[in-house]
Amino acid sequence: MIKAITGTKDTLPSDIRKWHHLEELVRNVMASFNYREIRTPILEETALFSRGIGESTDIVSKEMYTFIDRSETSVTLKPEMTASVVRAMLEHSLDKQQPLNKLYYISPMFRQERPQAGRFRQFHQFGAEALGGTNPSLDAEMIIVAYDILKNLGLNNITVKINSLGVPSSREKYKHILKIYLNDKKTQLSEESRKRLDTNILRIFDSKEANDINIMEDAPLLIEHLDNESLEQFDMVKQILLAVKIPFEVDARLVRGLDYYTHTTFEILSSSVGSQSALCGGGRYDLLAEQIGGRDIPGVGFAAGIERILLACENENSFCLPDDFIDLYIIRVDKELVAKTNELALLFRRKNLNVEIDYLNRSVKAQMREANKLGAKRVIFLGGEEYSAGKVVLKDMKEGNQQIFDLNNIDEIINNL
Ligand code: HAM
């Protein structure tokens, strides 16, 4: 038996309503904040991500699905959307059509990570990117949009953490200070963190090793070394969040796994999903467009993991979707009425009713059982004496009452459905 590839997952019909519910909510909330949908290809040139996300990040150095295609081009299944959205904006000069582009997406992503609960190799994100503005209202808006969607899904156990990574010049100065602090502790660090000393020193804050955590407890923090402009920008984001009453914590140790961030970064975590607790993450990336070879266009955005969010909803029992139902099941009483059953079903279906018939030559009793299983609100019995007299019986499955209708008068039947 050929099975699905490790870390990928089928979404079966029994689960799809949760996805539809979430996607509809995302579309509605995005529309109310005036974000417009963008779709980009699954495949991109590898350089887009290595330049955009950063060579030394885990995503680029260990996790990308990269291969050489038949025309000798190195291509990658997109591990995230931000670089792709920025590329599309530059390629189609969206910034020349309007100065600020507010875009959203719902899309599969690919990262070859070790699969575990809430972590997959093909997973799905929804997210938003606002390109063309440096106003802190946009940074705050990302947090507000993400928070509102999670709250609307009924999630309670969530925490918003925010931080500022400032601008590269203050960050470089700070990295130097951090390096001096870590210099005489090098030998006590884990092997992974020792490597990061030279490649991506900030990520040492992310280490799960007890010894590293201990050492980083007393480390100097970037936020204490930010320039005034960065502090003012960060302060405004906090003021807006306070005004809209979104609870948040400043976490000076929050570093993100992608290199393109400047200024605000944030994550929303859930205590309902185990170790993979980040439901969403984002931040400002004012230099990304230039890094991938484009014009100087600032941006800010976030992305949220749909599988993780649905897991949190399940664990918090926050979904109360109504049971599945169909409008009508046509029970074929006389076996020979196959064509008539199809004809009748089509008349109702063309009126946008959700109608089912039997395709398995089932007995009347078995058809009735099937109608119940599908949650049919009503059934029509087609056959018997009524049919000979040009009529059908319509039964209301909840109330149990029956009515007889003229078979030629479909509109009257529809009025009674
Ligand atoms: P990220 O933090 O890498 O950010 O991913 C965002 C979210 O995607 C995570 O918080 C998590 O919920 C979900 N996620 C990531 N990896 C996996 C996985 N292997 N399995 C399941 N879910 C996963 C970004 O992707 C940035 N592009 C966010 C952004 C947008 N920053 C600015 N704009």
Per DSSP, the residues of 339-372 read HHHHHHHHHHHTTT--EEE-SS---HHHHHHHHH
Q: Average pLDDT in the 197-205 region?
A: 91
Query: Strands, E, within 100-222: which ranges?
Result: 101-110, 122-131, 158-164
Tokens of 217: 């407890």
CA 26–ligand 1 middle distance (angstroms): 16
**pLDDT of residue 199 exceeding 90:** no
Nearest atom (ligand 1) to Cα of 304: 7
**pLDDT of residue 49 exceeding 90:** yes
CATH 3.30.930.10 domain locations along the chain? 13-167+227-316
Q: Average pLDDT in the 73-79 region?
A: 98
Of 163, 126, 124, 160, the residue nearest 144 (C-alpha): 160
CA 305–ligand 1 middle distance (angstroms): 6
What tens digit of pLDDT does each residue of 112-170 get?
999 999 999 999 999 999 999 999 999 999 999 999 999 999 999 999 999 999 999 99
Nearest atom (ligand 1) to Cα of 111: 19
**pLDDT of residue 367 exceeding 90:** yes
CA 155–ligand 1 middle distance (angstroms): 18
For residues 258 and 57, the answer to whether their CB atoms sit within 8 Å is yes
pLDDT score at 321? 86
Report how far residue 10's alpha carbon sits from residue 12's, in angstroms, rounded to the nearest whole number: 6
CA 82–ligand 1 middle distance (angstroms): 10
Of 31, 68, 66, 24, the residue nearest 49 (C-alpha): 66
Provide the pLDDT confidence category of residue 225 given band limits of 50, 70 and 90. Answer: very high
Nearest atom (ligand 1) to Cα of 81: 27
Nearest atom (ligand 1) to Cα of 82: 27
Residue 114: what are its φ and ψ, rounded to 5°? -75, 120
Which carries the bigger pLDDT value, residue 408 or residue 304? Answer: 304
The rounded percent of the chain whose pLDDT value lies above 70 is: 100
- Whose tokens are 């963008």? That residue is 38
What tens digit of pLDDT does each residue of 91-111 get?
999 999 999 999 999 999 999
**pLDDT of residue 320 exceeding 90:** no
Ligand 1 — pocket residues by CB below 6 A?
A: 80-82, 111, 113, 119-120, 123, 125, 127, 129, 257-258, 278-283, 285, 301-305, 307-308
CA 3–ligand 1 middle distance (angstroms): 26
Mean of all residue pLDDT scores within the chain: 96
How is residue 116 annotated by DSSP? B
Nearest atom (ligand 1) to Cα of 282: 31
**pLDDT of residue 416 exceeding 90:** no
CATH 3.40.50.800 domain locations along the chain? 326-415
Report how far residue 80's alpha carbon sits from residue 366's, in angstroms, rounded to the nearest whole number: 49
Identify the three-state secondary structure at position 337. coil
**pLDDT of residue 322 exceeding 90:** no
Class of the domain covering 326-415: alpha beta
13-167+227-316 under CATH 3.40.430.10, yes or no: no
Provide the pLDDT confidence category of residue 336 given band limits of 50, 70 and 90. Answer: very high
